[in-house]
Each structure stands twice: as structure tokens, then as C-alpha cells.
Amino acid sequence: MNAPIVLADLGSLIWEPFRDGVDVSWLYRNGERGPAAAYLRYAPGARVPHHTHAGYEHVLVLKGAQRDRNGLYGEGTLVVNAPGSSHDVVSDDGCVVLVIWESPPLFAEPF
């Protein structure tokens, strides 16, 4: 059995670019289309462009807030996006979220 992943300090994470103004720190991922979990760190005003969910996406807002066409989600909010749903996401003041994908999102815009 594999050991659990335990992270107590967001400051100790290793970040890499994900989208303009958005960095990612991967907890795990299973290839390009398999399940994945990561922290996303949005700079103020950063956005993740329009994308569609092939599987469930769970987003837990840890710091700050993000919004999409359905609402504004502050610290402690858990958002579950169902398969087939689509949106773009913006963080006006910056945020950090934990995201868990059943299958990574499909982006309309290339990386």
C-alpha cells in the first residue's frame, strides 16, 4: 500500500505554470486523461479559460475567492462540477484552491 500524501504547509509546495497567472502543484495525476488532484494558485485577476468537464471536478477554496457564471466562492466553499458542465473561472484578488478531477478538463483554448 502506498503512503498517504500529507501536506500541512502550502508554503512548502513546488509550483509550476498551469495557465497565465495560475500555478499548479500536483498531488497526483494518472497520465494526461486519468484522475488528478492539485493545488491551483491564482494571481489577482487570473483566469482559467472556458473548459468542459469530462468527469466530476471538486474544488475546495482554501484562501481568497474565485468566481464563475454561477457565483462567487469564498474560503471554505466546496464546488462540485458535474460531467458535461462547462465554465471559465476568475479570481479577482487571487486565491488558492484544492482541485480533484475524475478526468482532467477539456480546454477550448490551447495551452
Beta carbons within 8 Å of 30's beta carbon, 6+ residues apart = 36
C-alpha pair distances (Å), 11 with each of 8, 15, 58, 74, 96: 9, 10, 22, 20, 11
Q: How many CB atoms are closer than 10 A to CB 71?
A: 10
Q: How many angstroms separate the first and last alpha carbons of the chain?
A: 35
pTM: 0.88
Q: Mapping DSSP to helix (H, G, I), strand (E, B) and coil, where does residue 11 land? A: helix
**For residue 64, what is the enclosing H or E element?**
strand 57-68
Q: Which amino acid is at 104?
A: P
SS3 9: coil
Domains present along the chain, CATH in parentheses: 35-106 (2.60.120.10)
Model confidence over 4-29: pLDDT tens digits? 656 667 788 999 999 999 999 999 99
What pLDDT, on a 0 to 100 scale, did the predictor assign at position 2?
65
Q: What is the 3-state secondary structure (H, E, C) of 42-86?
A: ECCCEEEEEEECCCCEEEEEEEEEEEECCEEEECCCEEEECCCCE
| Mean model confidence pLDDT for the chain | 90
Higher pLDDT residue, 2 or 96?
96
pLDDT tens digit sequence for 51-105? 999 999 999 999 999 999 999 999 999 999 999 999 999 999 999 999 999 998 8
Q: What percent of the chain has pLDDT over 90?
A: 75
Is the model's pLDDT at 31 over the cut of 80?
no
Q: What is the pLDDT of residue 107?
A: 84
Using CA atoms, how far apart are residues 97 and 22, in angstroms rounded to an integer? 11
